[in-house]
């Protein structure tokens, strides 16, 4: 019977080893030393240190989420308020507002009523739907609005 070993596969520097191939740096203690857990204290210390670093990064991401969420809410709320204020005629002192046609206003009302969101679920797509509604309504508004 002949020995049927696979030839060693070469890989590019920095790439993953090919299936069945091993890097020399990956070889560690063998036999009884590995079974006894030699070096596991160092591995546990490294794992703990990396865990703490990951936790700190997640905490920072929470702050970013809060900040981005608040900024989005403020922007969308301001756009909704400005459009509502214009449609009520509050923006112009002593002048009649130039409102869209009755057909356009009816379409705006229907678009608002057709908005389907589930705010308690906290879904990003609900925010995207509100933003899309604002874009659609803005397109229906007169240019000077």
Q: Each residue of 10-62: pLDDT tens digit? A: 545 555 555 555 554 555 555 555 555 557 889 999 999 999 999 999 999 99
- Ramachandran class of 93: left when φ > 0, alpha when ψ lies in -120 to 50, beta otherwise: beta
CA distance 29 to 34: 5
pTM (2 d.p.)? 0.63
Buried b (16+ CB within 10 A) or exposed e, 4-34: eeeeeeeeeeeeeeeeeeeeeeeeeeeeeee
CA distance 6 to 49: 39
């Amino acid at each position: 019977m002949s020995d049927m070993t696979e030839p060693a596969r070469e890989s590019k520097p920095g790439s993953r080893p090919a299936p069945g191939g091993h890097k020399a740096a990956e070889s560690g203690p063998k036999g009884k030393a590995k079974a006894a857990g030699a070096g596991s204290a160092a591995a546990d210390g490294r794992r703990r240190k990396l865990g703490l670093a990951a936790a700190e990064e997640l905490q920072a991401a929470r702050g970013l989420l809060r900040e981005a969420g608040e900024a989005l809410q403020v922007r969308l709320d301001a756009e909704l308020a400005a459009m509502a204020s214009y449609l009520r005629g509050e923006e112009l002192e002593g002048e009649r507002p130039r409102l869209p046609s009755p057909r356009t206003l009816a379409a705006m009302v229907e678009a608002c009523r057709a908005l389907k969101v589930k705010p308690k679920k906290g879904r990003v797509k609900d925010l995207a739907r509100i933003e899309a509604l604002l874009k659609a309504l803005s397109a229906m508004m007169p240019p000077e609005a």
